[in-house]
Chain A
Amino acid sequence: MGLNKFEEINSIQIDALREIGSIGTSHAATSLSSLLGSEVRIPLPEVKILEFNKAVEELGGFETISAGIISLLSGQINGMMLALFELEVINLLLDHMMGKTVKDYSELTEIESSAIIEVGNILISTFVNALSNLTGVKITPSVPQIAIDMQGAMITVPMAAYGNQSDYIMLLGGTFLVDNKEIPCKLLLAPDVKSLNYLLYRLGIGE
């Protein structure tokens, strides 16, 4: 039978997803750490089932400009992963990788954008690999794509894709701490309802 809607999920299932998320994001933090040469941690990640408008507000508001890197997941799970980097994070990354910073997103050159996509790609693939190893579910992430725009419009991409039967979306992710400083970098996993059911089933807590 399984869930018909995200909002039907129970607290045991949320805890299990948080645990998976924790392992996925800590792997991603380790990759980021070796890339930056700084200590990167991610406090206990959050699993939230939120109404559309609440989800956008929770993630920092509709009009906040971010670089968003998206990857579509296929295989035994369908979903999307979205990494959101604000300018502060981009500068931290560029400074470590290329020894330069920018004042505005518009100053980003093609090489710098590619570097940002690559960081997003590393975070997303590390997360997906951890998830896949842990559950034995085959997941193939697509080539990531970048957009620099109002983040409200980027967060609605998974909402529109899976919004047909629910006004809620599941977000699994967290905010990174680099050298104990909170950086507004968010990593989100948004599966469709069917894939969420499959994931819960593989974890032995499906219905």
Chain B
Amino acid sequence: MEKQTIGIADMKLARTQGTLVTYALGSCIGICLWDPLLKIGALVHIMLPINMEKNRISPFKYADTGIRLTLTKMEQMGAKRSRIVAKIAGGAKMFNVPGNGSLGNIGQRNIASVHQVLRLEGIRLVKEDVGGSAARTLFFDVATGEGTVKIYGNVERKL
């Protein structure tokens, strides 16, 4: 079965079968979007909450433009927005840096932004594995819609 790797600020789609994987999510978030009827799945790896770039050359770096563009691409393949569900993982705080500066809460801001964008786009969030202080590798099986989260020194968790 085909496995596709999604880098930072990247997105890939698969249809019917295949595994989408993104490695070492820290404060970044991996968003799995899935149309269960057509088995169209996508995985986006976002790094920041909101796109404020002037020329928007990296839409997948940001939660807002990343999710929206992915939904559009899924719809172009025939997916229906009303059927699409989401699962997300990431948003950790890797270092216990003192103070509550922009660095300390990037993970939390990413989680909040992903939640908000999904809500605005009418996408149901069915499961999440977010926050904490550990990095996550996320596997997403497009045939079943099942996610797996791998954490260093821990058993794998179903998503």
Contacts and interface: CB of A to CB of B under 8 A. Distances in A.
Interface of A: 52-53, 56, 62-63, 65, 68, 70, 72, 105-106, 142-143, 145-154, 156-157, 159-161, 163-165, 167
B48 interface: yes
B103 A72 contact: yes
B8 A156 contact: yes
A161 B23 CA distance: 19
Given A52-B8, A53-B10, A153-B94, A167 B26 contact: no
B17 interface: no
A149 B97 contact: no
Interface of B: 7-10, 23-28, 47-48, 52-53, 57-58, 61, 92, 94-98, 101-103, 106, 133-137, 152-153
A contacts with B: majority SS: mixed
Contact of A63 (B23, B27, B96, B97): B23
Contacts of A142: 97-98
A65 B137 CA distance: 12
B95 A145 contact: yes
A150 B8 contact: no
Given A70-B95, A147-B133, A159 B47 contact: yes
A163 B27 contact: no
B139 to A, nearest CB: 12
A65 to B, nearest CB: 6
Task: Give chain B's interface secondary structure class.
Answer: loop
Contact of A152 (B24, B103, B106): B24
A164 B152 contact: no
B58 A157 contact: no
B92 A153 contact: yes
A103 to B, nearest CB: 13
B98 to A, nearest CB: 7
Contact of B94 (A62, A72, A149): A149
A163 B153 CA distance: 29
A145 B8 contact: no
A157 B48 contact: no
Nearest to A154: B94
B47 A160 contact: yes
B47 A156 contact: yes
Contacts of A145: 95-97
Nearest to B53: A165
30 contacts: A53-B7, A53-B10, A62-B24, A62-B137, A63-B23, A65-B152, A68-B95, A70-B97, A106-B153, A142-B98, A145-B96, A147-B95, A149-B135, A149-B152, A152-B26, A153-B135, A154-B26, A156-B24, A157-B26, A157-B95, A160-B28, A161-B102, A161-B103, A163-B47, A163-B48, A164-B48, A164-B53, A165-B53, A167-B9, A167-B61
